[in-house]
């Protein structure tokens, strides 16, 4: 994910340092909190940004599972803390609420973990 790529964002060449890929846990969480955090925007300035905060391990989802999208969180960033003592991580991705068709289970998962049927 690279937020400053291309002329659309007033920049020239894309910043390769922002092209970071990671495997997110494929889980379903029952809830999250919204919190404001100071985020550094360069060496001199920091701004407050809203994050969805997950503080638990969720139930496992299976790849290819059919889901119905129920809701979308208003946050564009997520802080993930498994609650097991490991450090939290922040990701530039929001959350969506889904219902698993086969089980009826509902919960929140990464917005980018769902692919849409055409």
Which tens digits make up the pLDDT trace of 26-49? 899 999 999 999 888 777 788 899
Tokens standing for residue 19:
């092209």
Q: What is the pTM for the complete model shown?
A: 0.75
Domain membership of residue 92 (yes or no) is yes
Contact assessment for residue 94 and residue 111, using Cβ atoms and an 8 Å cutoff:
yes
| Span of 4-8, 26-30, 96-100 with lowest mean pLDDT | 4-8
Task: Look up the domain containing 61 and give its range.
Answer: 27-37+47-110
Mean pLDDT to the nearest integer, 91-110: 95
Contact assessment for residue 62 and residue 101, using Cβ atoms and an 8 Å cutoff:
no
Domain membership of residue 117 (yes or no) is no
Domain membership of residue 53 (yes or no) is yes
3-class DSSP state of 17: helix
Domain membership of residue 5 (yes or no) is no
| Span of 3-12, 35-44, 54-63 with lowest mean pLDDT | 3-12
Domain membership of residue 31 (yes or no) is yes
Domain membership of residue 1 (yes or no) is no
How many domains, the chain?
A: 1
Domain membership of residue 76 (yes or no) is yes
Domain membership of residue 3 (yes or no) is no
């Amino acid at each position: 994910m690279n937020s400053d790529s291309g002329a659309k964002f007033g920049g020239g060449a894309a910043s390769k340092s922002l092209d970071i890929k990671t495997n997110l846990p494929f889980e379903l969480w029952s809830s999250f909190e919204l919190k404001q955090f100071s985020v550094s925007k360069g060496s001199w300035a920091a701004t407050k940004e809203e994050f969805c905060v997950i503080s638990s391990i969720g139930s496992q989802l299976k790849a290819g599972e059919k889901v119905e999208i129920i809701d979308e969180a208003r946050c564009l960033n997520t802080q993930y803390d498994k609650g097991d003592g490991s450090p939290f991580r922040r990701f530039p991705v929001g959350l969506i609420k889904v219902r698993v068709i086969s089980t009826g289970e509902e919960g929140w998962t990464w917005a980018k973990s769902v692919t849409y049927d055409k």
